Structure 1
């Protein structure tokens, strides 16, 4: 078997003494009350929050807004179901990181040939996703910058604010891994951004209010719409939750933090506290906002920018409108930052380059998704995001089967391979969902559903 590279050196090497002290602290958390354990995991976690920042992007939030505006609270269950089933695969990433301590795409190439890691996982699942999805982030982000400027009395026209958007997201992406605290610094920004996003949306929801009986039915009573519009929203809501980019980024980000066997509990906690909880909470708040304002009015704009513009006046207060716009602006900004890092990781794995954040090659790869600044002049419609999500669900399924086999491969993980029927079943449920989404979209377009 070919030699494997351990770790992922995009940051300065973390001293072993620091990693050991961190592991000792994690061991001590087990004897502490749950609030103390929770705070400890939140403080030391990071890749989960970064993954949430990438996942809660223009596509996911557009799907949530359309869901609330068109169907009210009835599709709330999709958010926790899709992210919940995805946690089984995220647990596999934690195992690969902490117990395997290898670079996943290298092992995938050893066991399953070159096509899967280089084409489907690396190029399609990472690079293409980062570049294409960033068009949606830029189109939404620059529009919201202009709206925010209007509400504050500061001219920020979309015709030139793309320079600000690109400079800020590129700077943060390039900061990841730079210096001894480069990874941690960007992780802290993502944590603060997610918290700000939730509180901004939550403050607006306090103005709008929640129909709790309807919301509880939507959370716990599964329901699927028929017709093309309904299927489109279901596809975007379910497929956008977790995919190849999220799986691989979390794994490599954990390697960059030096996580080992004693960090696996932290890694799993990070997938729940950093990824699942923010995803479900923000999705709930956004769906509820639009269910409480646009549902039943017959108004369902066909772009994220139009949705934002439609909701803001309904909040009734200038301050609420500004807070909503500011919270919404965080969504594309954070996604663009992580997509740049994902693109660099993907290109380096595709071509077999050794990552070096101080090299011009790494910088160039991080900046590739910035081509999406063209979205200012050629906006990306919501349908494009939905189509890509549907097609990528098939790629996610194929790559997911490869990861499933690696998790159960004795030669890859030895005694650390998966031995849990429930764990394997959970992964199979997610893979079935991903494949079913793609098939459902095809059937819908053929008129069979």
Structure 2
């Protein structure tokens, strides 16, 4: 009997989107500062992400419409339509443009680690931006999907090799996964770990990508398998990064401020292989996110405005390139768009509960999904996670207001 491997596609896009330089840095700092203690937060975030992304892919696969299309139609006669759409436009376009600068700079840092030039080179940033633009302008969905699968695979292998090279404490790792606790001063790190995994724009991205990849109810088993396998892989990568930092930095009381710092400091401790693998992982994470951030923005904004979300359309390509261009300008200028990112986090703190609530509403429509609408267990899990996201969103908003 031949072993049939799962068909992967849209779920890989979600993994490529949430495992970017920001997530790598958050996981690095979590491991360096708190050891294995916060691994439970990543386990929860991964499970929560699977629950919501399964709903998102079910919406796209069964109904053949994206979440943005559903919102556009559901709010057609509502006085809240334009205020919500404007908020979504600001958060998705402005936020992803700002994050794009971090994606490109993070990928360039990874390339700098590999070439023994830690500072991000403008030429490397331009090269990465050019590569991302070429991929997006080709407008071939399956090509983008396959490339992202390759980058996620490369990233996973790189972080796995770094993990083994640092010889982690497996008993402490398992204990950290099953023992929820919040050490003093770690609350914002917990919020960051969960917030970088369960994000609103991935709900738009996944539904739209599922509509493009799958073709109806018959593909639903494949869509679910893709979601569970891909996001579990993303969660595993995040756990590997935290564990690598815990073994290499926390155990040796080494101060580290970013993922690039960890990559550079690994060489004297564990040889060049770990440093180069971590740099390669950071490069793959940055490049994959540099592709998915413009994609997610274009999918969401074209659907919300009632336009075609075809990846070959002029409007779709234009939105992708605009997000990429703004991010590249910020990255080249060396500007750290802290205020933009803080405002994006503020908007995301508001948006995640709202979008998650709409997703739950959509998945309970008998006329839309028939027998494939949410059952009791799905609704219960969704409501529990929704309540947690409301609390996290409130804390995120308060945190941002404290810095503005």
- What TM-score results when the alignment is normalised by the length of structure 1? 0.80
Structure with greater Cα Rg = 1
Closer, same or farther: CA 344–445 of 1 in aligned 2, 3 Å: closer
How far is the alpha carbon of 1:349 from its aligned partner?
2.5
Aligned 1:183-198 pairs, distance under 5 A: 183-198=141-156
CA distance in 1, matches of 2:266, 2:163: 12
Separation of aligned partners in 1, 2:48 and 2:266: 33
Structure 2 residue 302 is the aligned partner of structure 1 residue 348: yes
Aligned to 2:109: 143
Please point out which of 286, 297, 302 is paired with 1:332.
286
Tell me by how many angstroms 1:314 deviates.
4.2
Q: CA deviation at 1:225?
A: 2.8
1:115 corresponds to 2:82: yes
Mapped partners of 1:382, 1:284: distance in 2: 26
SS at 2:136 equivalent? helix
Deviates more, 1:331-340 or 1:200-209: 200-209
| Structure-1 separation of matches of 2:295 and 2:397 | 32
Show CA shifts across 1:280-337 (max 9, x none).
211111111110111155544434443443x333443223322221122101100001
Aligned to 1:431: 386
What's the counterpart of residue 237 of structure 2? 282
Are positions 1:206 and 2:206 aligned together?
no
- The alpha carbon displacement at 1:426 in A equals 1.0
1:252-287 CA distances to partner (integer Å, 9 max, x unpaired)? 111112420111111111111112x21121111111
Residue among 271, 280, 296 paired with 1:317: 271
Residues 131, 440 of structure 1: CA spacing in aligned structure 2 closer, same or farther, 3 A cutoff?
A: same
Question: 1:30 corresponds to which residue?
Answer: none
The one of 360, 363, 366 aligned to 1:410: 366
Shift of 1:135: 1.8
1:12 aligned partner: none
Q: Is the 8 A contact 2:98 2:337 kept in 1?
A: no
Query: 5+ residue gaps in structure 1?
Result: 1-32
Rounded to whole Å, the distance in 2 between the matches of 1:58 and 1:388 is: 16
Match runs of 1:163-178 below 5 Å = 163-175=126-138, 178=139
Asked if residue 46 in structure 1 is aligned to residue 9 in structure 2, the reply is yes
Alignment of 1:262 with 2:218, yes or no, is yes
Take 2:137 and 2:285, find their aligned partners in 1: how far apart are those partners? 19
Correspondence list, 1:19-418, <5 A: 36-37=3-4, 39=5, 41=6, 44-112=7-75, 113=78, 114-115=81-82, 118-121=85-88, 123-124=89-90, 126-150=92-116, 158-175=121-138, 178=139, 182-227=140-185, 230-275=186-231, 277-309=232-264, 311-370=265-324, 371-373=326-328, 374-380=330-336, 388-389=344-345, 391-418=347-374
- The Cα RMSD (Å) is 2.7
- Show structure 2 runs of 5+ residues with no match: none
Q: Structure 2-normalised TM-score?
A: 0.89
Task: Indicate the SS of the match to 2:181.
Answer: coil
Contact 1:198/1:327 (8 A) holds in 2: yes
The count of aligned residue pairs is 396
